[in-house]
Structure 1
Amino acid sequence: MKGYRVTEELLAGFAEHLREEERSGGTIEKYLRDVRQFSVWLGGEEATRETTSRWKEWLLELGYRPRTVNSMLIALNRFFIFAGWQECRTRYLRIQRQMFCIRERELTREEYERLVETAQDLGKKRLALLLQTICATGIRVSEVRYITVEAIQAGRADISLKGKIRTILLPGKLCRKLVKYAKKQKIVSGEIFITRSGRGISRRQIWAEMKALCWLAKVDPAKVFPHNLRHLFARIFYQVSRNIAQLADVLGHSSIETTRIYLVSSGAEHIRRLEQLRLIL
């Protein structure tokens, strides 16, 4: 089998290809990071189906979770397709559908409220509103830029991602809070969540500011990241509506199977259901 080598030129072309596919900045960054990690592991060796399989086993030996390994293989296989190295692709790990999530990773409503209250107590109004905006709408952190003065005036935001446009409705109470904030910050048009220089707040800054709240809010840092707010929104929305198809549309998922992942309950809840069966005499 012919071998191949990962080069910076190929990676640059891959990044441009992903941008043309309208992949988010975070996705592009992750894909490139995963491919570079594979390249470093190769240590100058050529890429083949065999080396790819060995890398997969190596990741498992290091203690990576199977779902994490698969996410890294997705990045690598997409790179191989782009480069025309189809023979280097490897199979994903077969994983049974998860029945419940790890409790240590599930952000509760009470913990979310403590994060918001802590941000407010610290005078971090932008962060408090940002947390509420993501959690009350279910948007991705990359979609925060679509929350604009014009959007809150209309009560809805049109989000364009991966060639698709979806409209999300903004709760009236949230709009009133955002209007008041925008007026105080003298923001008359465009993005609401901006830095002092007028640029949109970055994903990295949002992440860092959220993590800084953890100790004072008494919330495990492992639970605090933007996407977990989206998961909390999904669980609460489904509890109210019991309509998974509608939830998939709101979240912008093309597959209901993706939405199901968001609705996995905690292990503690699963135990309570088992106890309710009363099958132990």
Structure 2
Amino acid sequence: MSDPTLPATPTTPTTPAERRQVAMAQPPLADADALLIESFLEAIWAENGLAKPTLASYRRDLQGFARWHNGRAGGLGGTDPAALYDYLQWRSRQRYSPRSTARLLSSLRAFHAWQVRRGARRDDPTALLEPPRLPRLLPKALSESQVEALLAAPDDSTDLGLRDRAMLELMYACGLRASELTDLSMGAVNLRQGVLRVTGKGNRDRLVPLGDEARHWVERYLAEARPRLAGGAVRDAVFIDGSAEALSRQQLWQLVKRYATGAGIDPQKISPHGLRHSFATHLLNHGADLRTLQMLLGHSSLSTTQIYTLVAREKLKQLHANHHPRG
């Protein structure tokens, strides 16, 4: 089933930027759909306390579908299964990844479940949709020597370099997500006890030990560099930029890529989340148990943490193959 109202694309997009350009060429979002999406996000935030990045993903996915749907058959609230199938076929032609499509289906399911719960409709049009099969990707961790090189890359004789050294040390020492680092507030840092209070997914708080090395760099940053970066402004965020504003996740991403290049690490193979993966993998390699690792990472389910045992197992296989005489 095709829709003649969809804009024609002369070539099939091959990059995320090209796909975003095609998506933004869709008709503007109808006011009724925009209001419905915001009402859903407010409700699901109140029910589940979802983190800002998750809410942003839901908003982006629902707005993308609503623009494509273009108010037909009662708008977003009146979606039928045929429209969803057509949209998935369109995304396939645009070469969206299976992982992106799986996340989209999660957003659509959450939205329509909310519609059913509040009595806005009786049926769930996503009920028969099958999620795409996803390959099980192992987290990519840096070696310990690569982490050492990355942590040493910033020039700590400058204010921004000292900030970046403290930031990287903290991410690796505590296994922080990017948003957990950028959202970290001054009140969440207890240097005397050497712990952080981290607010993770679902607004769940956890206490994470800093470690002596990270505490040293954070102490130096807070005492020396941050006051000069703040310039007298009162800011709650621990890590601020040269304009005394809270560091964004995009800025953090760019910094990690830049320092990776300086440390001789392929910037295409590292992200801020890579330090979290390295934290978990290295702890397991040095004898940490899964339950402890689960608490430190803030995982709600142990099954999420168990993926790191596969990473450690693959490393052992590689060591055996490289060093055993009959490997």
TM-score range, shorter chain: 0.7 to 0.9
Runs of 5+ consecutive residues of structure 2 not aligned to the other structure? 1-29, 74-78, 228-233
Does the C-alpha gap of structure 1 residues 215 and 45 become closer, same or farther in structure 2, counting only changes over 3 Å? farther
Moved more, 37-46 or 238-247: 37-46
> Once the two structures are superposed, what CA deviation does each residue of 1:152-211 show, in whole Å capped at 9, x if it has no partner?
232112223424322111102211221122111364995431234444322222122223
| Alpha-carbon offset, residue 94 of structure 1 | 4.3
CA separation of 1:263/1:205 partners in 2, compared to 1, >3 Å: closer, same or farther? farther
Which residue of 51, 65, 69 corresponds with 2:83? 51
CA distance in 1, matches of 2:104, 2:148: 33
Percent sequence identity is 23
Q: 1:37 maps to which residue?
A: 64
Cα distance between partner residues in 2 of 1:196 and 1:41: 40
The residue that corresponds to 1:77 in the other structure is 109
**TM-score with structure 1 length normalisation?**
0.79
* Contact 1:130/1:193 (8 A) holds in 2: yes
Which deviates the most, 253-262 or 207-216? Answer: 207-216
Determine helix, strand or coil for the equivalent of 2:192.
helix
> What are the Cα deviations for residues 234-276 of structure 1, in whole angstroms up to 9, with x where unaligned?
1111112241121111111111111123444399748737958
- In the alignment, is residue 134 of structure 1 matched against residue 134 of structure 2? no
Cα RMSD of the aligned pairs, angstroms, is: 3.4
> d(CA) in 2 for partners of 1:65 and 1:273?
33
> Does the CA-based 8 Å contact 2:141-2:281 persist in structure 1?
no
For 1:164 and 1:153, locate their aligned partners in 2 and report how far apart those are by CA, in whole Å.
23
Following TM superposition, by how much is the alpha carbon of 1:227 offset from its aligned partner in structure 2, in angstroms? 1.4
Alignment length (residue pairs): 271
Q: Relative to 1, partners in 2 of residues 1:126 and 1:15: Cα closer, same or farther, differing over 3 Å?
A: same
SS in 2 for 1:153: coil
- Indicate the larger mover: 185-194 or 138-147: 185-194
- Give the SS at the match of 1:118: coil
C-alpha distance in 2 between matches for 1:271 and 1:54: 45
1:212 paired to 2:250: no
Q: Whose RCO is larger (CA < 8 A, sep 6+)?
A: 1
Kindly report which structure 2 residues correspond to 1:64-103, keeping only aligned pairs within 5 A, or say none. 64-84=96-116, 87-89=124-126, 90-95=129-134, 98=136, 101=138
With the length of structure 2 as denominator, give the TM-score of the two structures. 0.70
1:143 matched to 2:180? The reply is: yes
Matched, 1:259 2:305: yes
Cα 1:14–1:274 change in 2 (3 A) is farther
Native 8 Å contact 2:186 2:237 kept in 1: yes
